[in-house]
Structure 1
Amino acid sequence: MRLSKLFKNAPTVNVTGLCFDSRKVQKGDLYFCLPGMTYDGHDFIAQAVEKGAIGIVHSKEIENKLEGAVYIRVEDVVLAMNQCARIFYAKPSDKMTMYGITGTNGKSTCANIIKYIRELKEPCGYIGTIAIEYGKVRLAPDLTTPDALFLQKKLSDMVRAGMKSCALEVSSHGLAQHRVDAIRFDVAIFTNFTYDHLDFHGTMDSYFNAKSILFKDLVKENGVSVLNVDDDKFEDLKSLSKARVVTYGMEKECDYRAINVRIDPESTTFDLVYQENIYHVKSSLVAMYNVYNLLACIAALHQTGMDLAIVLQACANIPQIEGRMEQIDCGQPFHVIVDFAHTPDGMEQMLRYGRHIAQNHRVISVFGSAGKRDIAKRKVFGELADQYADLIILTEDDPRDENPKDIACQIKEGIQNTPSVFVEDRYEAIRQAIDNASDGDVILILGKGDEPFMYHTEGRVPWTGDNNCARECLAQAGYTKE
């Protein structure tokens, strides 16, 4: 693409790629000097030019401009990069029905529900914590919401692969760092707002302000905001949203409301009230929070043209979502459930569900807390497990360069009455939970889900995933049904 198509009055040199990492620049790339928390892209202009960058987009004065590249000064490099990426990749989000899902918990589940049901009508892609999927392509994820250049490239790939829609998890980090500014969403879904990410955002107000960007920027024609009417932030988001608002919930009157909810160990049923009509819904997903997730997806899919009867019928057959309330059944006489829960609200929802289905049996919880992240919630995790569990096995969970035992000690500050042990090796902790279980017990393995990596002192290292680890340990114990 000609540089003049990206910037007015620019030379007509040919741009073959976009890049903001000087180490990855290839000949013909346009290099963006992004300011960062640790490094400033302006400091690496020489490296980018040496590698063949055809142009440099910068915001600071450059005294010594190397020959061989065109220099374009802008006020905001991040804004310019988003606009260039949108044009360079031919505005892919304009060519698909785009679902953006944000909230503290439930993003992955909602995105996967939407992908599964939407594909009954047309090809649908997915980008999020679990994977990047479209057609026959399945790629490992990096961040929940990848950087702007990667996003536009993948959305372009999806369009070329025949995708007509896409479900995208939108994290608060991604919003605050402007990774989705150039994406035009048709639907913005809000799941819930609870304590999380204060190590990055600093305050709950700052965290909420980041989430709200998705709804403030929803400007696509016929766009719709799908909001949880039972959440404390509902009124704030309703007033901020520039698009039409559709509501869902259970406790208050709303557009899509669930009543008569019944949660069983292997299924959920409820009655959906929509425009004074009542529809019976059955789903393979369990737990009360998944009723909210289902309602959000039902509303979003229905509002974007899918027949309500088809959507509700599909709810009964939603496949198990990897690492999200994933029930591991290898024929054992006790429950093993793996979930990504890593926030106080997510932990409590899972522990409460475990307590509900355990009845008179034990709840055995296996979890830790991430190193170098939000220390305040560690004691809260201990308090929650102390309230619902009968045995707590504390273990590593992305310790980074912190000592896992020190993290466990901070969690133990919230444990007063429940027996607890510390088993540093996560694989061994899961094995001990399975070996310790009796008929009817419920084992909750929380925090990592299906993530195939763990952060240690040396960086990101391979991890088998809690779900795969549980299967292996069950097989070692003699259970091999799956």
Structure 2
Amino acid sequence: MRLSKLFKNAPTVNVSGLCFDSRKVKKDNVYFCLPGLTFDGHDFIDSAIENGAICVVHSKEIQHKKDGVIYIRVHDVNEAMNQCARIFYGKPSDKMTMYGITGTNGKSTVANIIRSILDPIEPCGYIGTIAIEYGDVKLMPDLTTPDALFLQSKLSDMVNAGMKACALEVSSHGLSQGRVNGINFNVAIFTNFTYDHLDFHGTLENYFDAKSILFKDRVRSDGVCILNKDDPKYAELAALCAARVVTYGIENEADYRAIHIQMNNEASHFDLVYQGKSYPVMTNLVATYNIYNLLAAIAALHETGIELEKIIAACCQIPQVQGRLEQIKEGQDFNVIVDFAHTPDGLQKVMEFGRSITKEDGNLIAVFGSAGKRDVAKRKVFGELADKYCDFIILTEDDPRDEDPKEIAAQIKEGIQETTNIFIEDRYEAIRQAVESAKTGDTILLLGKGDEVFIYRENGRAPWVGDHMAVRECIHKYRGQ
């Protein structure tokens, strides 16, 4: 592509690609000097040029410019990179129906429900915490919402593979760092708002402001905002929306409302009320918070033209979302649930569900920790919640990074007053202990990691078998199933 297509009045030289990491620059690339939290891309201009950059996009004054290199100064390098990526990759998001999902909890589940229901009707891709998926392609992501260059390139790949839609998890980090600035969403979905990510945002107000960007600035004016009517932040967010608002809920009147809910640990039944008419729904999803997730997906799909009857028919067999209230069944006589819950709200909801499916004389056993270098204040809250709902607590490592897992566990223990608890640093051994301790009718909750097959330790990302695989191995090896 010619550089003049990316920047007005730029020379008509050909560029081979876009890059913001000087180490990955290739011949005739455009290099963007992104200012970061730790490093500043301006400090690596010479390295980028040595690796073949033909153009440098910068915001700071450059004292020594090299012959043969084009320098373009802009006010905001990140915004320039977003718009260049959008053009370079052929504006892929304009060629698909884009569903953007944000909220503290439920993003992965809502996105995967949308894809599972829509994909048989019209091909739909998915980008989020769990994976990048489209057609037969499945890739592992590094971030919930990837950087703009990677994101636009994958959206382009989806278009080329025949995708007509994409369900994209949009994190608060991704919004505040402008990773989706090159996308105008057809649908913006809000799941809920609770305590999280204060290590990055500083305050709940800043966190909410970041979430609201999707609804104020990134949704198309002819699009739709799908909001949770039961969330305390509903009214405040609704007032900010740049597109029409459609609501869903259980407790309050909403455009899409679930009433007469009945559920067990295998399935849920409810009546969906829409425009005064009631539609019976049966789904294999369980737990009240998953009814909310399903309502969000139903509303989003129906508002983009999918027949309600087709959506409801597909609700009965929604594929298990990996690591999200994933029930492990290997012939054992106790319940095992693997869940990604890593916020106070998430832990509480999973523990409430775990308590509801545990027999009266059974024990609720929780295995969890808390991530290092993240929201220290929530650790005591984790302990308080486990103390309230659980009968036995096993504290263990969970992405400790360069913190001592024992110290993290000690901070969680500050909230535990009565419940029996132990600390086993090795996560596999902690899971093994839970499996060996479980009796008929008990429930084991493995929380915090979901389906992740890595653990962040002091020296970076290290392999981890995954909670779902570890517990299966332990059931077969130590319980003879």
TM over 0.5: yes
Specify the code of the residue in structure 2 equivalent to 1:142.
Answer: D
Aligned to 1:223: 223
Report the CA distance between 1:31 and its aligned residue: 0.3
Aligned to 2:466: 465
SS of 1:448's partner is coil
Report the CA distance between 1:478 and its aligned residue: 4.3
Report the CA distance between 1:218 and its aligned residue: 3.7
SS of 1:217's partner is helix
Aligned to 1:36: 36
SS of 1:236's partner is helix
Cα distance in structure 1, aligned partners of 2:62 and 2:470 = 53
- Note the residue ranges of structure 2 that are not aligned, 5 or more in a row: none
Cα distance in structure 2, aligned partners of 1:218 and 1:250 = 27
Cα distance in structure 2, aligned partners of 1:168 and 1:261 = 29
Cα distance in structure 2, aligned partners of 1:171 and 1:149 = 16
Aligned to 1:168: 168
Report the CA distance between 1:282 and its aligned residue: 1.0
Report the CA distance between 1:252 and its aligned residue: 0.7
Aligned to 2:376: 375
Specify the code of the residue in structure 1 equivalent to 2:66.
Answer: L
Cα distance in structure 1, aligned partners of 2:340 and 2:172 = 17
Aligned to 1:111: 111
Structure 1 133/74 Cα, relative in aligned 2: closer, same or farther at 3 Å? same
Report the CA distance between 1:68 and its aligned residue: 2.5
Cα distance in structure 1, aligned partners of 2:52 and 2:139 = 29
* TM, length-normalised to structure 2: 0.99
Aligned to 2:316: 316
- Note the residue ranges of structure 1 that are not aligned, 5 or more in a row: none
CA contact (8 A) 1:186 1:218 kept: no
Greater shift, 147-156 or 59-68, is seen at 59-68
SS of 1:223's partner is strand
Cα distance in structure 2, aligned partners of 1:287 and 1:367 = 20
CA contact (8 A) 1:218 1:243 kept: no
SS of 1:354's partner is helix
SS of 2:455's partner is strand
Cα distance in structure 2, aligned partners of 1:393 and 1:283 = 32
CA contact (8 A) 2:188 2:219 kept: no
Cα distance in structure 2, aligned partners of 1:79 and 1:218 = 13
Report the CA distance between 1:66 and its aligned residue: 1.5
Cα distance in structure 2, aligned partners of 1:98 and 1:345 = 28
Specify the code of the residue in structure 2 equivalent to 1:93.
Answer: S
Aligned to 2:302: 302
Report the CA distance between 1:141 and its aligned residue: 1.2
Aligned to 2:342: 342
Q: Deviation per CA, 1:97-138, whole angstroms, max 9, x where unpaired?
A: 000000000000001000000112111000000000011110
Cα distance in structure 1, aligned partners of 2:102 and 2:217 = 13
Cα distance in structure 2, aligned partners of 1:6 and 1:381 = 49
Aligned to 1:401: 402
SS of 1:163's partner is coil
Specify the code of the residue in structure 2 equivalent to 1:91.
Answer: K
Aligned to 1:384: 385
Report the CA distance between 1:479 and its aligned residue: 5.0
Q: Deviation per CA, 1:427-460, whole angstroms, max 9, x where unpaired?
A: 0000110110000100000000000110111111
Runs ≥4 residues deviating over 4 A: none
Residue identity (%): 68
Q: Deviation per CA, 1:237-262, whole angstroms, max 9, x where unpaired?
A: 11100001000001111100011111
Report the CA distance between 1:268 and its aligned residue: 1.1
Asked if 1:149 corresponds to 2:176, the answer is no
Q: Deviation per CA, 1:453-477, whole angstroms, max 9, x where unpaired?
A: 1011111101111111111111112
Greater shift, 381-390 or 217-226, is seen at 217-226
CA contact (8 A) 2:187 2:219 kept: no
Report the CA distance between 1:37 and its aligned residue: 1.2
SS of 1:261's partner is strand
Aligned to 2:445: 444
Aligned to 2:181: 181
Report the CA distance between 1:219 and its aligned residue: 4.3
1:90-129 aligned at under 5 Å gives the runs: 90-129=90-129
Aligned to 1:21: 21
Cα distance in structure 2, aligned partners of 1:61 and 1:289 = 51
Cα distance in structure 2, aligned partners of 1:198 and 1:81 = 27
CA contact (8 A) 1:331 1:479 kept: no
CA contact (8 A) 2:181 2:218 kept: no
Structure 1 253/460 Cα, relative in aligned 2: closer, same or farther at 3 Å? same
Structure 1 68/475 Cα, relative in aligned 2: closer, same or farther at 3 Å? farther
Cα distance in structure 1, aligned partners of 2:435 and 2:33 = 51
Aligned to 1:364: 365
Cα distance in structure 2, aligned partners of 1:286 and 1:468 = 22
Cα distance in structure 1, aligned partners of 2:463 and 2:135 = 26
Q: Deviation per CA, 1:283-312, whole angstroms, max 9, x where unpaired?
A: 111111000000000000000111101101
Alpha-carbon RMSD across the aligned residues, in angstroms, is: 0.8
CA contact (8 A) 2:108 2:128 kept: yes
SS of 2:299's partner is helix
Aligned to 1:278: 278
* TM, length-normalised to structure 1: 0.99
1:5-84 aligned at under 5 Å gives the runs: 5-84=5-84
Specify the code of the residue in structure 1 equivalent to 2:126.
Answer: Y
- Count of matched residue positions in the alignment of Structure 1 and Structure 2: 480
